[in-house]
Amino acid sequence: MTSPTRSVEIVRVAGAGRQTLGDRVAAEEPLAIRVDAEPYAVIMRTPGADRDLAAGFLFAERLIREPADVASIEHCADAAERENTVEVRLANPQAGLRARQRRREIASASSCGVCGRQSIDDLVVGLPAIVDDFAVSARIVAGLPARLRASQRAFDETGGLHAAGLFSSEGDLLDVAEDVGRHNAVDKVIGRALRRRQLPLARAVLCVSGRTSFEIVQKAAAAGIPLLAAVSAPTGLAIDLAERTGLTLIGFMRGDTFNVYAGARRVA
């Protein structure tokens, strides 16, 4: 399996001096996802947890909605393509065919995933209801970024990876994934939960590094996650989508302060 990091040679400049050193950087390679032997998408990602990434990505695309929709997810049998190709077989190929056609129609309308849809209403179709009897203390919420950072092993080597972590309402780390893409890291943890038959994640908190776009909110809402916290800021559409789905959205986490943009009732 390809490593998530790689060695490089660098020249470090400090004032008038320079020094040749070895360093570690994040790996970034394309992952081709095939559905029922047909090309579906190519994702630039950090190698590792590829089957989880494929499952999470197709779950967010609503191509699959539960483990029973998947017959198999495996790396390509061809040795030349194995490291960077995942083959997904659906239990109902006809449903997959219809979903792939719809995706092509959206892609041809615009380069933006939202603009090709009629409205924000289309983003919430089929999403599960998010539970209301869930709360997390402000103290625990404020401590999530530090706990997430402490679990970022590849970031320690490279300083160049995003992370997504699932936590309990008590702040215990349940799962974590790292990737050069924020969306990929989220897909990996949600895809792993899907494959473990743990969805919906109605009692989990998702904490992500970086900012929060509408895609991150959509992925969290699709997994039934009631609270999403991010180190940086959300976009306006991310806030709109959080309000529409009933998800609690937190951002700008700095020490013991943070902003609640939607669903403040869940912060105790």
* CA distance linking residue 16 with residue 13, whole number of Å: 7
Residue 84 dihedral angles phi and psi, to the nearest 5°:
-125, 25
Has 112 been annotated as catalytic? yes
Task: Give the pTM.
Answer: 0.87
Q: pLDDT value at position 155? A: 64
209 lies in the same domain as 104: no
Residue type, 36: D
Q: Is 246 a member of any domain? A: yes
Comparing CA positions, the residue from 233, 231, 267 lying closest to residue 248 is 267
pLDDT tens track of the chain, all 268 residues? 678 888 889 889 988 899 999 988 888 899 999 999 999 999 999 999 999 999 999 999 888 999 999 999 999 998 888 889 999 999 987 766 666 655 554 443 333 444 444 455 666 667 777 888 999 999 999 999 999 998 777 666 666 688 999 999 999 999 999 998 999 999 999 999 999 999 999 999 999 998 899 999 999 999 999 999 999 999 999 999 999 999 999 999 999 999 999 999 999 9
- Find the domain containing 70 and state its range: 29-119
Q: How many domains does the chain have?
A: 2
Residues 164, 262 within the same domain: yes
What CATH number is given to the structural domain containing 79?
A: 3.10.20.10
Q: Which token pair is 118?
A: 């009629």
Which helix (H) or strand (E) element contains residue 157?
Answer: helix 153-158
Q: Is residue 199 part of a domain?
A: yes
Max Cα distance, the chain (Å): 65
Map residue 162 onto helix, strand or coil: strand
HSE at residue 26, side-chain half, CA atoms within 13 A, is 21
**Catalytic-role residue among 76, 112, 115, 207:** 112
- Residue 153 domain flag: yes
Contact criterion met (CB below 8 Å) for 51 and 84? no
What's the confidence (pLDDT) of residue 70?
95
Query: Do residues 179 and 95 share a domain?
Result: no
CB-CB contact of 268 with 135 (8 Å): yes
In the three-class reduction of DSSP (H, G, I as helix; E, B as strand; rest coil), residue 161 is classed as: coil
